[in-house]
Structure 1
Amino acid sequence: MSIVFESDAIKADPSVAATHVLLIGCGEYPSLAAAGYGSLPPLTSPPVSVTAVADWFLTGADAMPTGQEKEPSEAFCNEDAPLGSVVMLASPVGTYAAPFGTSVEIARPSITNIKAAYVAWLDRLNLNPESRGVFYFCGHGISDGETQYLVADDFGEDGADIWNSVFQLTMTVQATLRKAKASLFYFIDACMELSEEIINQLEDPKALIGGSRRGALTTTDWAIIRATTANRLAYAPDGGVAHFTQALLSALRGHCGVEHPSGNGYSVDVTRLRAAISEFLEFAQADQKADRQKIGKTEGDGNWTVPMHVLSKRPSVMLELDVTPPGFRPVAQAFMEDAGLVRDTKPLATGPVRFVKEHGEWTYGTNSTEPASFPEQVFNRKLLTNAAVRRLIKVN
């Protein structure tokens, strides 16, 4: 287990309310081909994606030296459950350079290491019902058409039972709900592609931990947010952050939230976060015509109002504007205007433009630098509370 951060508060008293994070990025998969599963190649995105998520958690005030922290619109913040620990497993195995200057050797996400890290994560979460647990996985995932299975990095190395390195996600969570007390957030950036091999196994892969179907749940506020829908792939640029993870981080960076019950700040909960991820996932595939990745089914219980992250300022909307027909772009410009009639204008000569503004009521539209070409198109006092909005304005 590779602990990349543990707060002083947790070291002094492990039972204080805190956010405990377990990050897993499986990319190498050195034994897939030898096991006869060459259709599941090594992945270049998981180590990059898991590092990006770790950086977001660790560049806030809880982990960084005073004066070097990023604002809540750029990094993790939750005064009710400050960052308590971050554990990372990633392959290829290497060193993680933490934003606060420490380098940590990262353990491989083998099934044994994943199980050990999961049990330790659960033990921390059992100590306080006001804590938050964040589980993030990026790597190979498969499906029997309904259930998602996640593939550890050492798949294929146990010749007697290669499926020993695959675990069933939903049953893992169900077992956890009868042991943990904290609120739980699972983010799964993995495919759900149908696998005939998994269907034909005599015995299904098991959960990471054992448990009974009987007994009252000790956790009643939890959710799993998946990167893709049943029988579909999740995508990533070669060597870059995966589309779902990028959408997740974009959403967390100040683009969703609702006023905190205390009146101080804005809560980022599952309800707002899922909608924002979906919107940014659409933006990432603007030019993609076929097999567009859509956010998967979200499992969970509770009101989904427990804040995972808290912003200090009102969330922002990213508004993209363009004109059609595109032949008008060389003379067109887009604008946004607030209630005080202060207008922000950007030329459209090189294509669509984006504005980032606080949630609220805005006037937007387009006009021409050559007034005779087309009249100004104005959309007055539109309430913008989405994370990301695209508008294509038709001009004559």
Structure 2
Amino acid sequence: MQQIDMPPRSVRSFVDWLVADYRNEDAPLGSIELLASSSPGPFQYRVPGGTAKTVEAATTPRVMDAFERWYEKCNKHVNNVAIFYFCGHGVNRGVNSYLLLEDWGAHANNPMHESIDLLRFQAGMKQCRAQTQFFISDACRVAPWAIMTSESQLGQPLIVPDSSKSRKNQNSTIVYAAGEGLSAFGEKSKQTYFTRAFIAALEGAAAERDVDRNGWRVNSWNLVEVTSKLLQWRLGGIQSASLGGDSRNTLFTMLHKTPMVPVDVKCEPPAASRFAALTLACPHYSFGRSPELGTWELTAPICNDYLLAATFRANRYRSFDLEVGVTPPLQIFTVTAQ
């Protein structure tokens, strides 16, 4: 399969978010097992305030070793939250997804040996004491003919399912970056579209008021729904996140700062943006953009009292201002040039 450079950037962004912004009073961040494959050279990660460390590549033996360490920690307490994140190539056979590891194809007669069988992995994790589990799969779910016709057992479950040891009433959520049989997309040298949308949702686009805690929270179902909306908004409907597993609507994270909301400001006619100096300001926040062709894409804190204004270079059009509010999940404003 073609080498892609989005996964290392995506996993770095997600780990950055976990380290800086994940909040759960009942299950604060305990540890992260990170593996990543990159080219050229090994992947390095720098914890804020620390030194850069080389990260092990995501080969099958190393993934299995890291899983054992992760499982041991997750299994210590029923209130633990287990989060698994994968970004890379993936394929489907039927409804099941297989996540391809760095050494995928090492065995010519059994190339899928070096992959993770996601549904069996999720089923095996029912033995873990951690009551809340999230499996985030940022990968394609296309079904190649060679996979569809194969009669072999595909992939590694990491932990073999055992119904006699499965625990009841677990909240086990799978978040897919794409629908069954469909592709997940990315832009070269950037994060994947899914991970960008997923983090935007976590940072505020999926925020809901938590009256009991007098703050903002992101729940799992709204997280997936808003991630889908952001993907459809950016990609015109060709990619949409989906939900799987044994999911109940539950807390993914609390927000410790004002929620940030994606905002698009467009000019009509579009060519007018070449002359438009744009500002979006409220009593506490202010943003601006010099004249430039195209849509102004930004994120802005929640506020109901913004003033959107446009002044046009060389008096090409009349000045424009409009009182607007910015609330989740996203806002699209149009400046009409006259």
Among 241, 261, 264, the residue aligned to 1:320: 264
Q: CA deviation at 1:350?
A: 3.6
Listed as ranges, the gaps of 5+ residues in structure 2 are: none
1:17 is matched with none
Cα shift at 1:389:
2.3
Q: Secondary structure of the residue that 2:262 maps to in structure 1?
A: strand
The question of whether the paired residues in 1 share the 8 Å contact of 2:104 and 2:114 is answered with yes
- Give the aligned length: 333
Pairwise CA RMSD = 3.3
The one-letter amino acid of 2:295's match is P
* Cα distance, 1:250 vs structure 2: 2.9
Report how far residue 245 of structure 1 moved. Answer: 1.7
Equivalent in the alignment of 2:76: 127
**Could you tell me whether the CA contact under 8 Å between 1:177 and 1:219 is conserved in 2?**
no
Q: Which sections of structure 1, spanning at least 5 residues, go unmatched?
A: 1-39, 61-74
- Equivalent residue in structure 2 for 1:191, among 134, 140, 145: 140
Secondary structure at the aligned position of 2:86 is classed as strand
Matched, 1:388 2:330: yes
Residue 268 of structure 1 and its aligned partner are, at CA, apart by: 2.3
Correspondence for 2:194:
244
User: Is the contact between residue 317 and residue 337 of structure 2 (CA under 8 Å) also seen in structure 1?
Assistant: no
* Shift of residue 373, structure 1, vs aligned partner: 4.7
Letter in 1 for 2:14: V
- Alignment match, 2:120: 171
The offset of 1:284, in angstroms, is 4.7
1:201 aligns with 2:150: yes
Contact 1:324 1:392 in 2 (8 A): yes
Q: Which residue of 2 aligns with 1:71?
A: none
User: Which of the numbers 229, 246, 250 marks the counterpart of 1:301?
Assistant: 246
1:266 maps to which residue?
216
The structure that is helix-richer by fraction is 2
Write the deviation string for residues 226-258 of structure 1: whole angstroms up to 9, x where unpaired: 112222222223333222222223333344322
In structure 1, what is the Cα distance between the partners aligned to 2:116 and 2:284? 56
Indicate if the aligned counterparts of 2:318 and 2:337 stay in contact, CA closer than 8 A. yes
Structure 1 residues 250 and 363: CA distance shift in structure 2, 3 A: closer
Structure 2-normalised TM-score? 0.82
Question: In structure 2, do the counterparts of structure 1 residues 300 and 361 end up closer, same or farther at CA, with 3 Å as the change threshold?
Answer: farther
Q: Residue 192 of structure 1: CA displacement?
A: 0.9
The match for 1:89 among 29, 32, 35 is: 35
Q: Aligned pair in 2 of structure 1 residues 209, 341: CA closer, same or farther (>3 Å)?
A: closer
1:359 is aligned to 2:302: yes
| Contact 1:332-1:349 within 8 A present in 2 as well | yes
For 2:15 and 2:59, the matched residues in 1 are separated by: 19
For 2:288 and 2:191, how far apart are their aligned partners in 1?
31
Q: 1:160 to 1:367 in 2, by over 3 A?
A: closer
SS at match of 2:35: strand
Q: Which whole-Å CA distance do the structure 1 matches of 2:115 and 2:52 have between them? A: 30
1:55 corresponds to: 16
